[in-house]
Structure 1
Amino acid sequence: MERIHHNKILTIVTWLLSLIVSIYYTFNSPQDGVWPRRKIWHQNYAYHTAFRMNHIIASIYWIVLFVLQGVYIAHLFSGTVERVNEACSVGSHFILNNLLHFAFVMTFVRSLFGWAELFIILNFINLTSLYFRHHGYARFIHYPVVSGPLAWTFVAIYWNGAIMVPHPDSFVARIFGNIFIWSILVYGLFYIVIYKDYTMGFNLSVLAAAIGVSQFLRQVIAFQWIFAFIIMAILFVATIVVAVPAKYTSARNGDTERAPLLGENYSS
């Protein structure tokens, strides 16, 4: 019981830490350090990379994610013991995710992109481990704690990595960007096909749209935005193909709250 109490406190504190720094550095630049210091989205637009995102779409993604994470935290105080235990079971990974996201933001806005990339990769490992350990939990856990942060972290590896490399707007960098963007499609289809996880498909389609819009507004005649929109469309269609039958199956079984991984092996 004491462990659950400590888990609740650390979850709330680290989530607030992650939320506050994200909001603060969206509207403010750091006042310390010797490197170029910029707001989060000013860093995004300061470098003409192949993975630069549209800040409006990406911000909406994060607003929804933070709100649903707040809903997840509320379930820690549920009167249902089973629900509390289920929410607490992913607590250590969620706490680590919050701390690593905090570290990423603090280094990213100070142009310490190498350190930022390290924190993203560590979080990717953390969230991937979480996914394969707890991929069958209810939607109130799976999206805000597992698939939402994991999809962002995967794309952010390229987003920050493209800024980190020398000459991010060079011809060679653009060619590599044209190649690596297809990994978003492969990654998303893996979860859709193997785990019937339509939340991962939807998340990655939104982030692909954020890349596509930004690349189109930057340069109309270019492959990157075309590839991004193709990836978005394929993932979105695949998401619908999986989600609609899954919703029907869930409703038929009278279990509308369970996991989004609705293959027979993962339904409750």
Structure 2
Amino acid sequence: MDHVRNANPFTSQSSYSRGSVLAWRIVTPVSWLILVITSIYYSATKPHEGKYSRHTIWGQNSHRHTPFALNSVIASLYWIALYILQVPYLSSLFKEDNTLPLTLASHFTAHNLLTFGFIHLWCRSYFWWALLLVIINWFNLTFAYFRYPKTPRVTHVAIIAGPLAWAFVSLYWDGAAAVHSHHTAARIVANVFLWTWLVYGAFYIVAFKDWAMGFALSILAAALGVGQFFTAIIALQWIFAFTIMAVLFVASLPVAAPGVFGGDVFKRGEVVSEDRERAPLLAEP
């Protein structure tokens, strides 16, 4: 019974054994640190081993410059911001009332390890295996999103919404590289599939009043637009990308700042404010 209670995400902290709490306090920050170090290392250094062509993260992005290749500066700043925002969540694991951070630890750790594996495979041109990890991570983060809607704002942005938006974009980023989409027909298909970014972001904005997903996808659409603009000025991909960026950004504004746009009409759905971070998930019997 103790194992069942420890696995239940809606129990109080007292239901976690001292060993499981200690384990997550060690494993989660270590997985985060491994990912940060790997990201920095492979942003500057390409792998020295591997069967296929080897490049840095953004060197591969340039070498496989598909219709979904991103601007390295904007995408890097996106991840730097996420890493910084994830620090408060990691520190919350060491607080006394840390039930919610503990329940998210397995998803966040899985995300870190899957992204760590993706970077290694991506830089070594194992695109199909890398795509498999992206798909698994997308399901992992999507499950976390729907399973834990009542997360504090900063935690939601850094641990769920930001990584989930990136995982969604990575499906196209890595998938395009895997199928060698450089020819005209592939670009036409990419022009069509790019609009799924708008549909995906609009779903979270409308259904969950989630401005975090809207802004995150807007930034990544900007990264795509800039990346494609410097590839071919006379093209539709960057025009569509900037259009999607603008629509998502404008649609997210009234959700993020309801007081400016008409009171609480656009109040964010079930994601709670920071002052409820320590509130228990369920009332004690």
Q: Which amino acid aligns with 2:114?
A: L
Q: Which amino acid aligns with 1:147?
A: A
Please give the alpha-carbon distance, in whole angstroms, between the structure 2 residues aligned to 1:184 and 1:136: 25
Please give the alpha-carbon distance, in whole angstroms, between the structure 1 residues aligned to 2:77 and 2:119: 17
Q: Equivalent residues in 2 for 1:29-48 (5 A)?
A: 29-48=46-65
Q: Are the equivalent residues in 1 in contact too, given 2:152–2:273 (CA < 8 A)?
A: no
Q: Are the equivalent residues in 1 in contact too, given 2:191–2:240 (CA < 8 A)?
A: yes
Q: How many pairs does the alignment contain?
A: 251
Q: State the partner residue of 1:262.
A: none
Q: Are the equivalent residues in 2 in contact too, given 1:137–1:258 (CA < 8 A)?
A: no
SS of corresponding position for 2:274: coil
Q: What TM-score comes out, normalization by structure 1 length?
A: 0.90
Q: State the partner residue of 1:113.
A: 127
SS of corresponding position for 2:53: coil
Q: State the partner residue of 1:104.
A: 118
Query: How far is the alpha carbon of 1:257 from its aligned partner?
Result: 1.7
Please give the alpha-carbon distance, in whole angstroms, between the structure 2 residues aligned to 1:219 and 1:234: 23
Q: State the partner residue of 2:203.
A: 190
Query: How far is the alpha carbon of 1:258 from its aligned partner?
Result: 5.8
Structure whose CA Rg is larger: 2
Q: Extract unaligned runs of 5+ from structure 2.
A: 1-17, 277-285
Query: How far is the alpha carbon of 1:218 from its aligned partner?
Result: 0.9
SS of corresponding position for 1:57: helix
Q: After TM superposition, where is structure 1 displaced by more than 3 Å over at least 4 residues in a row?
A: 246-250
Please give the alpha-carbon distance, in whole angstroms, between the structure 2 residues aligned to 1:151 and 1:246: 26
Q: State the partner residue of 1:148.
A: 162
Query: How far is the alpha carbon of 1:256 from its aligned partner?
Result: 4.8
Q: Extract unaligned runs of 5+ from structure 1.
A: 260-268
CA RMSD after TM alignment:
1.5
Identity in percent: 47
More helix by share: 1
Q: State the partner residue of 1:263.
A: none
Query: How far is the alpha carbon of 1:78 from its aligned partner?
Result: 2.5
Q: State the partner residue of 1:265.
A: none
Please give the alpha-carbon distance, in whole angstroms, between the structure 2 residues aligned to 1:223 and 1:86: 44
Q: State the partner residue of 1:63.
A: 80
Q: What TM-score comes out, normalization by structure 2 length?
A: 0.85
